[in-house]
A and B are shown apart, each in its own frame.
Chain A
Amino acid sequence: MSFREKIHWATLVAMTLAFGWYFLAYPWGIVGSPAGVMATAGLLVPVTIAIIAAMTVATAFLAIRNPREVDTREDERDRNFHMRGTHFAYYPLVVGIWINIFLIFWGIGQAQQLNLMIATLVVAEIVRIGTQLYLYRRGH
């Protein structure tokens, strides 16, 4: 497994765990009130710090374990898989945004909109990274 692929795995695991915790820990009982926005902000801070810390540690650890590959630049296969991952991630992103637009007209609260946008971004990122990992494993 290449250094780049390992980094993708680390990102996928870090994102899934951090945002999994976010959505489990979120106080859904107050999501309809103004306090729900503050709860979102309050939970996003530790989530962001956790992801940055986890990725820093993972990158340093993997770089020490794979010193020869650290400076390897993306080649055409990496770029191709990245592009295809982004292509597939576009669909959940568009669906999430359209759902959000309709729900805004429906009159949902700010915290609900925020959480829907966060969920949309997380799903799109998981699809993007997951597609890349699938292509690295299965090929084409």
Chain B
Amino acid sequence: MASLPFTNDIRTLRFLSGEMTQGELGDRVGVTRQTIAAIEQGKYSPSLEVAFRIARTFDKSLEAVFQWSDDAD
């Protein structure tokens, strides 16, 4: 199965936010720990709402969290 056309820095941002766990981020965003893990691994493309919620949790813009891969165009 083809990989997603974008990457993310959620793992790094979690680490920089006091080593926030996947479960804690999931609770704040309103999804399960498994969904955060899947998003981090590029196995799940979140909805725009969840993407924004993740970005807002880290007080970042959407583009600071999710980056479109240039070779995916």
Contacts and interface: CB of A to CB of B under 8 A. Distances in A.
Interface string B16-57: 000000000000001110110010011111110010000000
A140 B38 CA distance: 9
Interface residues of B, number: 16
A76 B45 contact: no
B69 to A, nearest CB: 15
Majority secondary structure, A binding face: loop
B4 interface: yes
A76 B4 contact: no
B31 A75 contact: yes
A72 B45 CA distance: 21
A138 B32 contact: no
Contacts of B1: 138-140
Nearest to B26: A75
A2 B38 CA distance: 12
B35 A139 contact: no
